[in-house]
Structure 1
């Protein structure tokens, strides 16, 4: 009986200890663990079809291929036109749908996809966020800002929500400061919602994005767009595929 009692005590202490360790993890650690970050980064590249609509109009219908370390990526449109990025350099075919938004398109959609794996990138700064929304008890919520000189738009910020039960990313409010500056952007924050997770090689990936208006203290307001991600798969990186043609433009 003593042996049984000791064994039960050991099991209880181990269980409590594991739970305590989990609770003590940082916000980013919890989310990255839930998203299997290490397993994701062990893959070479990821590819998916993205169909994106804003205001009832098609914004993008293309195949996106990204190195999991986010250094290179390709957006390939139905007509064969491509946007290729290599770190901070962007190359594109003259037949892409919109030259004006080429840098925005090159970096925005891949960043939203890779967001769960980039929470602890160099230059990220995390702080507590006082979530006053009605359903705040359902989420772990923190605010992400960036050190000066980080990325394309270091003045951007995100309020990031993870499901408290699963630690999976569910939504992220954000501003886009690259065009009009931080002050103007903060007058019109948006949010992306990550839905309909499916596992790909054991890694959970959201297959639906919904874009919303967002207000501090209120949360999501009106829907402004949505996207579906299909044919998601991990692939080997073909060097030639990430190499721009001689006639590609740069921006």
Structure 2
């Protein structure tokens, strides 16, 4: 989607706040003993109350309102009977639509007690996303996002999952520009233009290189097996940088 009018930006910001508030509320409910299905029920209730529709459910018939991935699961985890335990690493990914506008956001959380090594991975995962967002602006190369994130990851001894990319969003959950790498690439000569709506969502890892399909047809796992964190915002490109629309409020 390309934003051309103020009312389009406002519509995107409305759904952006809804999904951001949903992630925040779900993260606050994280505690040992809660199941991922119960956590998903909280997310569904919040989306329903705001008049929003789960995007993965409506678009792909995903078996849940939100994606909840625990520990070895790195993305697209199906909510179910899995019980959250102390020390778990939990990724919550919420995307939804309202009035024809789509927004997508997510974050990884630690269930206390917090482990210092994992806490650093989470902090650096957030930083990697921020570095990617800082590369967004009218006329800048799309590949600059992944190149900057890659430099950051390499300096700190991290790897990046190289087959889970950022993407265009706005009027659909996934649209052009597709396959925006969050790792270093060559040959991508596409440019960012003002009003372009996209996600920035690097998957930072301690050794994982690829996302591999699980037996359920949805859940993804790191190959080789390793801890992975993901942080994601939906942004709009402008002449002066990026407007983040998935902020709680």
Q: Higher helix proportion, which one?
A: 2
The structure number with the bigger radius of gyration is 1
Greater relative contact order (Cα 8 A, min sep 6): structure 1 or 2? 2
| TM bin (shorter chain) | under 0.3
**Given the two structures, how large is their TM-score scaled by the length of structure 2?**
0.26
Q: Higher strand proportion, which one?
A: 1
